[in-house]
Each structure stands twice: as structure tokens, then as C-alpha cells.
Amino acid sequence: MLASVTPAPSYSSQVYRVIRPSLVLIQVTRNSRSGGRDGLGSGVIINNQGDVLTSLHVVEGAETILLTFADGSQSRGHVINEQPEHDIAVLQAETLPEVLIPAVIGSANALRIGDEAFVVGHPLGLYGSMSAGIISGFDRSFQPRDDKPRLEGLIQIDAAVNPGNSGGPLLNRYGHVVGIVTGLANPTDQDVFIGIGFAVPIGVAGGAAGLPPY
């Protein structure tokens, strides 16, 4: 008689369980009279004070910022620090959730090309979506639209990245944050993923929130 064996959970399911409590949905309203558009993005809690790390372009020019935490609680948010040269912003909530679970910070320096790469965020408003791929390259550069400064020193990934993923965490196989998703490369004018995404290494992005270099 064969004994039944329960397979071990996949890396991806473990990664999702580790990061989900730290995810933040970011909804932004902008003044339409000045040509702004409402938008959404992703963020991640990165310390015991509840600071949220995200991409600056997600919240830039926002009239209001609404943060939704993993437990469903919501709060107005405010930008408390910016790194325009790296497209990074730090947000602070007016009201924190009752249970605060910061993400575990990893080291981008420990990554190698071919390592697993996981992206968790809210693409197209689909809350808590996950994609998986590999690390495709390092020290890449990317030119955002709207004449923004060219971003340098980025991690290239092939895990799917779409509008709404910006500002969300790039994760290693342990669920540790190793980068902040900043953009996708596309030779057309469409905001759709063609296999090349970019993230700011956490050792750079975390500096905006006073994290030590990793």
C-alpha cells in the first residue's frame, strides 16, 4: 500500500503568503482642471512605523491619496519623502491598520541572472495579483514618458508587469523585497507588458525611508 504524500507548497505560494499582509493598494485623485488623471498603483509597508514605499510617478501631483491595507482598512496618505532620480516615494498613513506587518527586506546584491523573480501588486486594479518569472539583467536604464529623468541601475525582470503594478514589491524566492517595480518597456504606445519590466533595487529605494543599504 502506497503512503499518501502531500506535496510541499511551491515557492510562489509561500512568497504570496509572506508578502500579502504588507501589500498596499494606492488610489490617487488628481485635479482634472490641470490635466491630471486619477490612477492607482501598489505599495509595500517597509518598517514598524508603517511607512509605505512606492513609485513616485504613482502619487506625483496627487490631490488625494487613499491607501487600502491587506485587512481592508483604509486611510488617507501623504508623501513624506521623494527620490525623483529613482522614481521612489515614501508615504505615511493618517491611520494605520490595527495589525501592522512590515515586509522582510532582502538584498538585491545577492541576486543572479536566472534567479526566480516574483511581482505582487494590483495590475489594472486586480487586487493582490501575482506574477512570476526570472531576473533577466542588472544595471539597466529606462526612459519614462513625459520627459522624466532617465532611471539607471535597474533590475530587469520578465515577470509580468502592467499598469497598477508600479510601486509594488519585487520579491525573491523567500518573499523578501529586493526591489520596487517602476516601469515596463514597450516599443509601442500601449501600456501592455511585452516581457521586459524594471525595478529599483531595494538598497537604493529603501534609502528614501532611511533603511540601511542591503
> Any idea which residues carry the catalytic annotation?
57, 87, 166
Q: Which three cell numbers stand for residue 17?
A: 503568503
CA nearest neighbour of 181 among 4, 2, 19, 6: 19
C-alpha span between 52 and 169 (Å, rounded): 11
C-alpha span between 175 and 11 (Å, rounded): 9
- Cβ-based burial of 212 (10 A; exposed 0-12, middle 13-18, buried ≥19): exposed
CA nearest neighbour of 202 among 117, 127, 100: 117
Do residues 87 and 60 lie in contact, with contact meaning Cβ atoms separated by under 8 Å?
Answer: no
